């Protein structure tokens, strides 16, 4: 009965002895502010969120002090919102890292909007104009100015081959058998200009040679790719001068890799090459093609292609669909001299990988003759 006569607010500090401490701990308080009072103020102006003018001063309708129903209620959601940003960022980074680590280049391409050539094989260098990426016409237009026709004269006669310009002042890579034994060399560029050339260095063990044009400058240089990335089935383009037909373009695919091709290292074979319309003699799989390779031979690993190659393509370029040189055409089966039904390319050609060429350039430039 005495409890019902207790005056409002007389023993408020004992209703919940820990309530004031909880409010102080959960509320953001500047340490310079004075600590809150141990008891509620005796008087309180009513607000729109507190008790009405008919309720006891300083006390809500439910009997709890109105000062406890304030800011701390909104604090936890703010903390959760702050944590949500870093978690989302980490998740996004993890997704991107997983995509890159898994090699999903196509997915990244779709997300970024970047376009790439559909039939790339060895490098990311794009020589072909963007409007003609992945087309034979685009490759031919971009690379043909870097391919030359080579006419070598010797005591035995003359022969025709091809070459690839690697410096603007006229360094040209070709096959050793194209210039072997030559007493004079004439070179014609794609624009019809003719130059005299001299042999800088040869390497018969790889069937490679480096020649240099006299008084040349401003030539269009080929881009040498990376043959380690070539795969069976990659689309390729071949450019050369078969049978003296300058700048002939053919296309096909890489049909095999690491073929052991054996060719002659005898200089006399070079003097007789292509005489009578035959191709350069080579051996593959225990069989000889295009004549006798002789007793002095060398074997190298070659890229096999079904792009049409004919006599005169030797020393020319095998190119990926980005316009990068991935090989130097060196040997092909030729049925010339057989019946007319057997004449022409039969889709059996070989190219020296461009990585072999690049590793041999220093030796060739040193003037080595072997």
End-to-end distance of the chain based on CA atoms, in angstroms? 124
Backbone angles phi, psi at 45, to 5 degrees: -80, 130
Which is nearest to 35 in space by CA: 24, 23, 19, 51?
A: 24
Which is nearest to 49 in space by CA: 63, 69, 74, 31?
A: 69
- Locate the DSSP E strands across 97-169: 147-154, 157-165
Where do we find the tokens 């006669």?
157
The pairing of strands 147-154 and 157-165 is antiparallel
Half-sphere exposure of residue 229: CA atoms within 13 angstroms, side-chain side:
18
- Locate the DSSP E strands across 94-234: 147-154, 157-165, 171-174, 184-188, 194-203, 208-213
Residues in contact with 307: Cβ distance below 8 Å, sequence separation at least 6, in sequence order:
236, 237, 238, 250, 251, 252, 253, 318, 347, 349
Catalytic residues: 177, 207, 314
* Cβ contact 348:334 at 8 Å: no
Q: State both tokens at 212.
A: 């240099």
């Amino acid at each position: 009965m005495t409890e019902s006569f207790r005056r409002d607010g007389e023993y408020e500090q004992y209703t919940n002895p820990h309530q004031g401490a909880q409010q102080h701990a959960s509320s953001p308080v500047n340490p310079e502010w004075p600590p809150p009072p141990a008891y509620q103020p005796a008087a309180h102006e009513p607000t729109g969120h507190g008790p009405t003018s008919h309720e006891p001063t300083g006390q809500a309708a439910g009997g709890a002090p109105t000062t406890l129903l304030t800011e701390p209620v909104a604090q936890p959601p703010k903390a959760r919102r702050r944590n949500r940003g870093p978690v989302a960022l980490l998740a996004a980074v993890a997704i991107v890292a997983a995509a890159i680590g898994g090699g999903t280049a196509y997915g990244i391409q779709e997300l970024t909007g970047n376009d790439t050539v559909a039939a790339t094989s060895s490098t990311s260098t794009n020589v072909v104009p963007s409007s003609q990426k992945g087309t034979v016409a685009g490759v031919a237009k971009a690379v043909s100015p870097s391919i030359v026709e080579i006419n070598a004269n010797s005591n035995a006669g003359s022969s025709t081959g091809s070459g690839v310009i690697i410096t603007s002042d006229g360094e040209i890579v070709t096959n050793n058998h194209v210039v072997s034994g030559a007493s004079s060399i004439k070179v014609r560029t794609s624009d019809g200009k003719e130059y005299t050339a001299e042999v800088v260095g040869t390497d018969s063990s790889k069937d490679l040679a480096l020649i240099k044009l006299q008084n040349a400058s401003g030539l269009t240089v080929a881009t040498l790719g990376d043959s380690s990335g070539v795969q069976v089935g990659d689309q390729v383009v071949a450019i050369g001068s078969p049978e003296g037909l300058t700048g002939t373009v053919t296309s096909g695919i890489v049909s095999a890799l690491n073929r052991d091709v054996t060719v002659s290292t005898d200089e006399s074979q070079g003097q007789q090459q292509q005489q009578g319309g035959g191709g350069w003699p080579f051996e593959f799989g225990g069989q000889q093609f295009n004549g006798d390779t002789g007793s002095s031979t060398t074997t190298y690993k070659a890229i096999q292609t079904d792009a049409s190659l004919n006599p005169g393509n030797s020393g020319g370029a095998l190119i990926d669909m980005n316009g990068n040189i991935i090989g130097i055409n060196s040997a092909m089966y030729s049925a010339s001299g057989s019946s007319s039904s057997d004449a022409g390319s039969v889709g059996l050609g070989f190219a020296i990988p461009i990585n072999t060429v690049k590793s041999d350039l220093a030796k060739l430039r040193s003037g080595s003759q072997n």
